[in-house]
Amino acid sequence: MPDSRVAIIGGGYSGLAAAYELAKNGLTPIVFEAGRAPGGLAGSVRLGNTHIERYYHHWFTHDDHVLDLVKELGLQRHLVVHETNTSNYHDNQVYRLSSPLDVLRFGPLRLSDRMRLGRMALKGRSVRDYRRLEGKTARKWITEMAGPTVYDVVWRPLFEGKFGPYADEVSAVWFWSKLQTRGRSRSKRQREQLAYLDGGFQRLTDALVGAVISRGGQVRVSCPVSEIRRRHGQWEVVSEGGCESFDQILVTTPTPIAAEIIPDLPEAYRHRTRAIPYLGVTELMLVLNRRLSPTYWLNVNDPGYPFIGVIEHTNFQPPEAYGGRHVVYLTKYRDAGHEAATMDQASLIKTWLSQVQRMFPTFEESWVRHAQVWKDAYAQPVVRAGCESQIPPAETPLPGIWMCSMAQVYPEDRGTNYAIQQGRRTARGVLEAIERPERRPQAVRIACTTPIEQAAGPAEPIPAFRGLSPA
């Protein structure tokens, strides 16, 4: 078994967790990552002496797969748990919505609707078997539980902001999983509490990469794979550095990319890789010299704003961790043609900052130390009603080719916890397949591109944030 060659395409958390599981079991997997650093959507940039995620990130206190991994890798001492607060921006006002009492005080709804909203959360969470909700849309389920006004005032703007044209198709199962995950991560005082690593997600990324490399595996960055093809009874991975043959290949890219790079995928399976659409994300990350607001998570229930969330990370992690600076993320999920996807960085910063000023009248542009726009085309799979039967299985019809992506996480929503769960589970499938007697013969190795040199060294530095003026 140790001489079996396994490639992993994609160095996000699915890929890194799979590589770790394989390396722990005596294999020496090679991870091919297109980006300049591992971590994928949970990747980070340097900020002063520490790192910060490109997109807002936290864990729930019951994210057991990630928390177990944190423990296994000896990072437990860096784990922190803090209470956070959530608010909704509605009709030019911020309403706190962190506790049952806040719900009862939520001004935009009549008292009877506030009671319905509160009861809805309890009722929704009491559903144990999500299969009861298969085929139903979130809109229908919420309206049944809490009435149309609650849907229109509280949920419609959030669904439209998050899922755009798909808002009315989103599955009740998606909403159920959100109620479960957010509802269970609570302190005794019924406040939401979230977990994080001191030093950021980068600490976990480094530890995973280190654990793979120290066991003989490789994590290659700036190494996009353009094709996976069958040659002389072997699977070949084609990248800029050349071709290499493998016995087993685990593909963790978004499913549409997987379909593109594996031309041999049979049509029925290929169809499933496209059945679950993805939305992209555009995020403006601001580093400020002072606090913007007291809220950690602000839902923007007003379609007049170009972003649907204002997440002030330093109302969760203290600003001292970032040399006294304050970090705020403004987020918009969108499709490829949306102006948030097509607008250039300078115009987007200018437009969005003017909207920040409208929302927080005391805000001044002079507070901004750095501003950076991040965009990703595959950020959020759209879980539509009845989609479970369309999810492609991890084991593809091509022997030796495995698929493990965000779009296959179900019934939960995407998240690093599930990326880790799925990555490790699929790796165990690969291990089992290798142990079968009919495994393929040893393959030829041809070297290619940039390996990460240091076992547990920092991620490849990403150039400092560009300032407010266009770079």
Ligand X SMILES: Cc1cc2nc3c(=O)[nH]c(=O)nc-3n(C[C@H](O)[C@H](O)[C@H](O)COP(=O)(O)OP(=O)(O)OC[C@H]3O[C@@H](n4cnc5c(N)ncnc54)[C@H](O)[C@@H]3O)c2cc1C
Q: Which residues bind ligand X (CB under 6 A)?
A: 9-15, 32-35, 40-42, 55-59, 224-225, 252-253, 257, 261, 281, 283, 331, 379, 405-406, 414-417, 419
CA–chain centroid gap for 128, Å, is 25
Indicate the length of the chain as a whole number.
471
Closest to ligand X by CB, 66 vs 349, is 66
In the complex, what is the shortest distance from the CB of residue 42 to ligand X, in angstroms, rounded to a whole number?
Answer: 4
User: Please, which residue, 33 or 113, has the CB nearer to ligand X?
Assistant: 33
CB of residue 361 to ligand X, shortest distance in Å: 27
| Residue 120 or 396 having the CB closest to ligand X | 396
CA dihedral 156, 160, 161, 163 (to 10 degrees): 130
228 forms bridges with which residues in the sheet? Answer: 237
- We find the least distance from the C-beta atom of residue 363 to ligand X, in angstroms, to be 22
- Quick check: 422 and 14 in contact, CB under 8 A? yes
Nearer to ligand X, 13 or 20 (CB): 13
The minimum distance between CB 116 and ligand X, in angstroms, equals: 28
Q: Is 40 left (phi over 0), alpha (psi -120 to 50) or beta?
A: left
CA distance 165 to 155: 15
If the CB atoms of residues 12 and 124 are measured against ligand X, the closer one turns out to be: 12
Start-to-end C-alpha separation, the chain: 50
Q: Provide the 10 A C-beta neighbour count for residue 396.
A: 22
Using alpha carbons, select from 409, 316, 371, 404 the residue that is nearest to residue 57: 316
H helix runs in 147-282, sequence order: 148-150, 156-163, 172-184, 201-214, 255-261, 267-275
Taking a C-beta distance cutoff of 8 angstroms, is the pair 314, 85 a contact? no
Find the shortest distance in angstroms from Cβ 257 to ligand X: 5
Strands 93-96 and 86-90: antiparallel
Determine the Cα angle at 105 with ends 103 and 109, to 5°: 80
In the structure encoding, which two tokens stand for residue 445, read together?
């190795």
Q: Are the C-beta atoms of 354 and 364 separated by less than 8 Å?
A: no
> Letter for the amino acid at 19?
A
- What letter does residue 461 receive in the DSSP assignment? P
DSSP class of 154: I
- CB of 46 closer than 8 Å to CB of 180: no
Closer by beta carbon to ligand X, 106 or else 235:
235
182/190 Cα distance (integer angstroms): 11
Structural tokens at position 327: 């970090």
Name the minimum Å distance from CB 383 to ligand X.
Answer: 13
The smaller minimum CB distance to ligand X, of residues 401 and 419, is found at 419
Rg (CA), the chain: 23
CA angle 100, 106, 112 (to 5 degrees): 85
Nearer to ligand X, 141 or 322 (CB): 322
Count of Cβ atoms closer than 10 Å to residue 193 Cβ: 17
Q: Which is nearer to ligand X, 138 or 404 (CB)?
A: 404
Q: How far is the CB of 140 from ligand X (least distance, A)?
A: 26
Least spacing, CB of residue 394 vs ligand X, in Å: 12
Residue 155 DSSP code = I
To the nearest whole angstrom, how small is the minimum distance from the Cβ of residue 239 to ligand X? 7
Pick the closer one to ligand X by CB: 145 or 273.
Answer: 273
**Cβ 34 to ligand X shortest distance, Å:** 4
Question: Which of 54, 90 has the CB closer to ligand X?
Answer: 54
Closer residue to ligand X, CB minimum distance, 98 or 405: 405
Least separation in angstroms between CB 118 and ligand X: 25
CA 232/CA 332 separation, integer angstroms: 46
At which residue do the structure tokens 């001489």 appear?
3
Smallest gap from Cβ 191 to ligand X, in A, equals: 17
